[in-house]
Structure 1
Amino acid sequence: MAIAYRHQIDDDTEFALWRIEEEADELYKQLQLDEHEKAFTKQLSKSKRYLHWLGTRVLLRKMLRTEEYIDCKVDSHGKPYLVTLPYHISLSHSFDYAAVMISKTSPVGIDIEQIKQKVERIANKFMSPDELAFIGPKNTIDHLYVCWCAKEAIYKCYGQKEVSFLDNILLQPFAFEGHGIVDAKLQKGAIDIAYEVNYVKYEDYMIGYVKG
Structure 2
Amino acid sequence: MPLYKIINFSPTTRILVWKITESLEDLLSQVVLKEKTQLRLNEMKSELHQRGFLSVRMLLKVAGFNDFDLHYDEFGKPYLNPNERHTEPVEVSITHSHHFSAIIFSEDTVGIDIELQREKIIRIADKFINEKELSRLRSFDAIEYIKKLTVKWGAKEAIFKIRNEKGISFKDHIQVNAFELNDKKTIAKLHFEGIVKEFNIIFEEFENFTLVYAFEK
Q: Same fold (TM over 0.5)?
A: yes
**What residue identity is the alignment partner of 2:187?**
D
Structure 2 unaligned segments of length 5 or more: list them: 84-88
Distance 1:25 1:145 in 2: 32
Give the equivalent residue in structure 1 for 2:152.
147
Counterpart residue number, 2:129: 127
Contact 1:131 1:171 in 2 (8 A): no
Q: Does 1:166 align with 2:171?
A: yes
Q: CA RMSD in A?
A: 1.7
Check if 1:65 corresponds to 2:64: yes
Q: Does the C-alpha gap of structure 1 residues 119 and 45 become closer, same or farther in structure 2, counting only changes over 3 Å? A: closer
Conservation of the 8 A alpha-carbon contact between 1:131 and 1:172: no
Which residue pairs with 1:99 in the alignment?
102
**1:1-212 paired onto structure 2 within 5 Å:** 1-44=1-44, 47-62=47-62, 64-66=63-65, 70-85=68-83, 86-103=89-106, 105-135=107-137, 136-138=139-141, 139-177=144-182, 180-212=184-216
Cα deviation, 1:116-163, whole Å, max 9, x if unaligned, reads 111111101000123213313231111111111111111112233321
Structure 2 CA distance, aligned partners of 1:150 and 1:45?
A: 28
In structure 2, what is the Cα distance between the partners aligned to 1:14 and 1:43?
31
Which stretches of structure 1, 4 residues or more, deviate above 4 A after TM superposition? none
Letter in 1 for 2:148: H
Question: Is there any run of 5+ residues in structure 1 with no aligned partner, and where?
Answer: none
- Relative to its length, the structure with more helix (as a share) is 2
Distance 2:74 2:111 in 1: 17
Task: Say which SS state the counterpart of residue 165 (structure 2) adopts.
Answer: coil
- Structure 2 distance, partners of 1:185, 1:91, is 21
- Residue 69 of structure 1: CA displacement? 5.5
Q: Report the 3-state secondary structure (helix = DSSP H, G, I; strand = E; otherwise coil) of the residue aligned with 2:118.
A: coil
- On the 8 A contact 1:126/1:166 being kept in 2, the answer is yes
TM-score (norm: length of structure 2): 0.89
Name the TM-score, length of structure 1 as normaliser.
Answer: 0.91
Structure 1 residues 83, 159: closer, same or farther in 2, change over 3 A?
farther
